Structure 1
Amino acid sequence: MEEKIKRIYTSLIKEHFKNHKQMIFLSGPRQAGKTTVSLMAKEFTSQFSYLNWDNLDHRKIVLEGVKSVAGFAGLDKLTLEEPIIGFDEIHKYGKWKTFLKGFFDTYKEKVKIIVTGSSRLDIYKKGGDSLMGRYFPYRLHQLSIAELQRVELTDKEINEPFKSKSEDFEKLLKNGGFPEPFIKNNPRFLNRWKTLRQEQLIREDIRDLSRIQELGQIEILAEILKHQAGQLTNYSSIAKKVNVSTDTIRRWIKTLQSFFYCFSVQPWSKNIPRSLIKEPKIYLWDWINVEEEGNRVENLVASHLLKAVHFWTDCGFGQYDLWFIRDKEKREVDFLVSQDKKPWFLVEVKLSSKGSISKNLVYFQNKIKAKHAFQVVFDMDYIPRDCFKYTDPIIVPAQTFLTQLV
């Protein structure tokens, strides 16, 4: 029997339905666990229904209209518990927004609704949105070191550190955070899974849900980005390698971002004299595709920080964003997390704890007045101390710092 991992997003769904009528829109990468999490909602009610657009029988029910779906979910019957219905991949239906609007407006007092899907869901919720006010979006990420042990919700962003299982930390570094390869912990399975996932992403998702025809060149671009994770994005240089225009490269990278292949981190420019204000840095959602060890651990930290800022924002703690800092003198710090558009904490990632605190970390904390400045290292063992009690620049173990996030 295959191991099942509890997810913090299940707690999030339970808390949402306890306090809100709005639909849940759960988006995230292919195979990160969206469907699994939505199906876990059956733990909250005996009246759970699920419709997947890719299932032809389910599709027929949706196409027959709102009343057909209501009948399928038993909304015309008196029930002891409030029903929950999950719609999976519904964004593939051309009229999905009109359908959901009608269904929600008619039955919002009788049923809780979860909608899960890929980037299409995220893309089409923006601009001219007829569903405005009827849903709350949540962005699901792959597993992180904190989520492997702590899945209950707390009323604060930063939590007390805990000692994670050493094998969990090693498995995250080696297998990534996507649930299936993490659980199997098998190198041969991982290699096959990585290849198939990228083929499905480009040859199915991007082909079917975008107008891009040059899939071979998109694959070349994806390979280039693997080797440039954490570096400044030189669009013109990449364009020459792929043999397309710079504007095309910009558009294709945005497409890869919208399908959760990669994400960009923008430069912070406030209070930075001669700051670099143009090129972002690109990281991969799946850090195991980054070959060089130093770049891989930096990508792992980037992914953990992105998960945290998305989670904190989606839960209503405030507006959180992830940045990096670099000026024209080439002084740089890997990451800055902002809270309501103000600097909160800086993070510099190092493999080794040898040497002193980064001068750039000290320099930029002084410039932007960030409350904390961490040099996160991967060769130190866990220390049971709260990193966020320190306001001076400090070297901290990744195994402590990352457990305090989400």
Structure 2
Amino acid sequence: MKRYLDDRVRQDLKQKMVVLTGPRQVGKTTLSRQLVDELAGSQYLNHDVVAHRAVILAQSWRVSAPLLVLDEIHKMRDWKSWLKGVADGRTPGQQLLVTGSARMDTFRQSGESLAGRYFRLRLHPLSVREWSEQMQVPASAALTHLLNRGGFPEPALATSDADAQRWRADYFSGLVREDVLEFSRLQEVNAMRLFADMLRSRVGSPLSLASLSRDLGVSSVTLAKYLDILQALFIVFVVRPWHRNIARATLQAPKVYFFDAGLVQGDEGIRFENLVACHLLKNVQWQQDTRGAAVGLHYIRTKDDSEIDFCLSEGDALTHLVECKLSDTKAQRTLIRFAAEWPQAQAVQLVRECRAEADVGRVQVRDAAPWLAALEV
């Protein structure tokens, strides 16, 4: 399956080393192997494979390989300084692609800076646009499918819902059991598994770590560390309140969403909101990675508890206000109010089951499927 990053990776490899990250099983290895197959003599090496690891540690790969792919090397000690040496000492013209399922710019390890030596790209699950284009189906059918299966390639392409659910159960337990050990101690795995499971039913609500700490018998400081680890492993992402002062926004309660929308425990409205969050984050990070744009994804919550699900920013200005509704096509009063307060921002109410689109003042009530399909990626 062709992915939205395929052409961009090819383009960037001609200029610099490319560091490709994203959730486990989101398609990084498939993308990498397709590129290797395109260039005769290229080589793929995965640090998790014993035979490959020996080649990596000895640096005995083919110097003539036009493309060298190194996967999961962030698990090495001092991987940054090691990679800097590899990048600087490679054969002239050799393309270098580095992939990993843990966020390689988080939990910084000791070593030399790689600044200026690479382009960073983040691969996300399938979107309405991708599924619609690849499967040649209407946007509405793509949205229904992704709400049911999630956007990871294997469950999305599975022949039955049962096969997709079996994949998801193994995926979630495997992530927490194995990958967490990269950043934490064995004794903490059970507590983190329970924490991650509790987050599944708290999607879309401001997250109180203090409340969860009482339920789990673990300090809120420890839970904050667990949340950082779950983000580093691309299991969840947080959306923070928008504020011109970044420090003030960081101190306020975030909302948590899952990269795999199929992991969400809740009604269809919550799962729809999670899917929209995934689409918006994907497009924000695409703009950050490919254009260096100063864009961000947030939500708005005021002191009187008025809230908008999402807002998009560029610099210190808001560009979009987004509210998610399952079937209510009546423009929400809070969205009307915020649209008046931020007249420069496009205000849109995305409706999963939209009977009729409408414009209510500055608020655009829109059918969610075609709106999501019209996003850049």
User: Please, what TM-score do these two structures have when normalized by structure 2?
Assistant: 0.91
Cα distance in 2, alignment partners of residues 332 and 195 from structure 1: 33
The alignment status of 1:94 with 2:68, answered yes or no, reads no
The alignment status of 1:41 with 2:31, answered yes or no, reads no
Q: Which residue of 2 aligns with 1:132?
A: 115
Q: Which residue of 1 aligns with 2:171?
A: 197
Q: Which residue of 1 aligns with 2:20?
A: 26
User: Please, what TM-score do these two structures have when normalized by structure 1?
Assistant: 0.85
Cα distance in 1, alignment partners of residues 222 and 99 from structure 2: 30
State whether residues 175 and 185 of structure 1, in contact with CA within 8 Å, keep that contact through their aligned partners in structure 2: no
Q: Percent identity between the aligned chains? A: 35
Q: 1:394 to 1:185 in 2, by over 3 A?
A: farther
Tell me the C-alpha RMSD between the 2 structures. Answer: 2.6
Q: Which residue of 2 aligns with 1:159?
A: none
Residue type of the partner of 1:130? Answer: S
Cα distance in 2, alignment partners of residues 224 and 278 from structure 1: 20
Residue type of the partner of 1:23? Answer: M
Once the two structures are TM-superposed, the CA of residue 130 in structure 1 deviates from its matched residue by 2.2
Quick one: which of 109, 121, 125 aligns to 1:142? 125
Cα distance in 2, alignment partners of residues 110 and 141 from structure 1: 29
Quick one: which of 276, 287, 291 aligns to 1:301? 276
Quick one: which of 334, 338, 345 aligns to 1:360? 334
Once the two structures are TM-superposed, the CA of residue 396 in structure 1 deviates from its matched residue by 0.3
Q: Which residue of 1 aligns with 2:58?
A: 64
The alignment status of 1:122 with 2:105, answered yes or no, reads yes
Which deviates the most, 251-260 or 43-52? Answer: 43-52
Q: 1:245 to 1:380 in 2, by over 3 A?
A: same
Q: 1:344 to 1:133 in 2, by over 3 A?
A: same
Once the two structures are TM-superposed, the CA of residue 382 in structure 1 deviates from its matched residue by 9.9
Once the two structures are TM-superposed, the CA of residue 39 in structure 1 deviates from its matched residue by 1.4
**Structure 1 regions of 5+ residues with no counterpart?**
76-82, 152-161
Once the two structures are TM-superposed, the CA of residue 129 in structure 1 deviates from its matched residue by 4.6
State whether residues 346 and 370 of structure 1, in contact with CA within 8 Å, keep that contact through their aligned partners in structure 2: no
Once the two structures are TM-superposed, the CA of residue 166 in structure 1 deviates from its matched residue by 4.2
**Structure 2 regions of 5+ residues with no counterpart?**
none
Quick one: which of 257, 280, 302 aligns to 1:327? 302
Cα distance in 2, alignment partners of residues 201 and 112 from structure 1: 30
Q: 1:276 to 1:294 in 2, by over 3 A?
A: farther
3-state SS of 2:181 partner: helix
- How many positions carry a matched residue from both structures? 372
Structure 1 runs of 4+ with >3 Å offset: 124-129, 274-277
State whether residues 240 and 249 of structure 2, in contact with CA within 8 Å, keep that contact through their aligned partners in structure 1: no
Q: 1:91 to 1:128 in 2, by over 3 A?
A: closer
Q: Which residue of 2 aligns with 1:158?
A: none
Cα distance in 2, alignment partners of residues 104 and 343 from structure 1: 39
Once the two structures are TM-superposed, the CA of residue 250 in structure 1 deviates from its matched residue by 1.2
Q: 1:41 to 1:224 in 2, by over 3 A?
A: same
Cα distance in 1, alignment partners of residues 173 and 2 from structure 2: 28
Cα distance in 1, alignment partners of residues 316 and 108 from structure 2: 24
Cα distance in 2, alignment partners of residues 126 and 309 from structure 1: 26
The alignment status of 1:396 with 2:371, answered yes or no, reads no
Once the two structures are TM-superposed, the CA of residue 17 in structure 1 deviates from its matched residue by 2.6
Quick one: which of 284, 287, 301 aligns to 2:261? 287
State whether residues 164 and 403 of structure 1, in contact with CA within 8 Å, keep that contact through their aligned partners in structure 2: no
